[in-house]
Each structure stands twice: as structure tokens, then as C-alpha cells.
Amino acid sequence: SQATTVAEVYEEWIRAKPEQWFWVHRRWKSKPDAGDVVRTARGLEVWGKGRIGVLLDRDGTVNRDLGRGVLAPDELELLPGVGAAIRRLNDAGVAVFVTTNQAVVARGQITETDLAAIHQRMGEMLAKDGARVDGIHYCPHHPTEGKGAFSRVCDCRKPLPGLLNRATAEGGLNPALSLFVGDRDTDVKAARAAGYPVTLVSNGWAHKPWEPPTETPDHIAANLPDAIDRFLEKRFGGRDE
């Protein structure tokens, strides 16, 4: 139709000078208003208020929790639908960070080099679904079970918010407009301390049935894809591109 042709021409003209235009929820604007959700070179952000992001716990949220930690790359098993869910966030311009306690390093069960190999494997598995994370922040400490330099009280081990604060600073995120997704009480406490709304998922434990939290999250989802669908619907009315 003529209307469709005009719209296509208009779109092509705008994209020829992307620095002069911003995609604002369902339409183009040359000057966003405060509070508009816009695409910028950094990703998706609320104009004047910072970027929108999703922080993810790892074990029990992204990959199956074995109850003893993942000790080798071939032990890492992504939970169903995780790659596609993260890709939806990538496509929407939403920053994605992983924040994870890794006491297996503190106990000497694996080294930080081993952990890097596990995370490399996670990245490769996500890439098969066209997905990626923007950063991984981990805590290698434990206050009572750690060995050597890893035996200490730190500010990064959840339920303290240090890891989340680091990801927030790295991504330039606005916690109140973003989301933290985890699977247990320590995640709820860390998210609350860092200022994030929090959703827990219930499908990630392989070693025993999932236990409902004593700390109350904002929402409990069946899995990460459900949590992301709900977040995108709430934040953008379902629009994720």
C-alpha cells in the first residue's frame, strides 16, 4: 500500500542519519523526553536515567545446580531455553551480566584458571543460540572454608551486594529499572541491597527439589525464559526489538 511505502522510505531516511534520531518505544523522535526508553550506542536506556540491564545468578539460574559446584567445563549444563532468553535481551539492547559466588575456588576445588575455562564454555554454549553476556563477576572467597588468600570476609560474596554493584557500575545501569534473576535467599538479599527488583526461578536444582525462599522476591518464575518474558512485557509492553 501507499502508506506502507511511505513508512519504508521514512525508515530508510532516518536510518541514514542514526546519530540524529532515537528509537523511542514504537516511534522515532529527534529529541527524546526524560523517561523515554531509547536505543543508544551503549544499548537500551531510559533517557536521563541510565541503562536497562538484567543481572543473572549462575548456578541454578543459567545452568543446572549440581549441589557441589561445577568443577569442569563438561559439567556445565545450560537450563532449557536459557540461550534464547538471553538472546532476546541482547536483541532488545538490554545489558546482561552474570554475578556468581564461586566458593569452589576458595576451597581449592578448582583454580581461577579453571573457572575461566568453565565460563568460556558457557559463552560458547550461549553463542550457539546467538546469545552473549556482557560481563561475568564472581566471588572466589569464603569466610570459613577458604584457603590462603581466599579465606576472608569480603564485600562481594552474596548476600552482600558487591558483585551486583560492580556490574551496575561497569554497565552504567539503573537498578530500579532493571532486574536481578536468581534462585535462592542470598540472591534476594543481594538484589535488595543493590536496589534491584528480583525474580527467582524454580527449575534449576538437580541435587534436590527447589526450596521456596524465606526472603520474599518480587516474583517467582518457572524458569529464566518466563522471567525474561515477564520483564520485557512489563518494561516494554512485550516489544523486544
Q: Which residues are annotated as catalytic?
A: 57, 59
- Nearest Cα to Cα of residue 236 among 21, 25, 16, 28: 25
Q: CA dihedral defined by 167, 169, 172, 178, rounded to 10 degrees?
A: 50
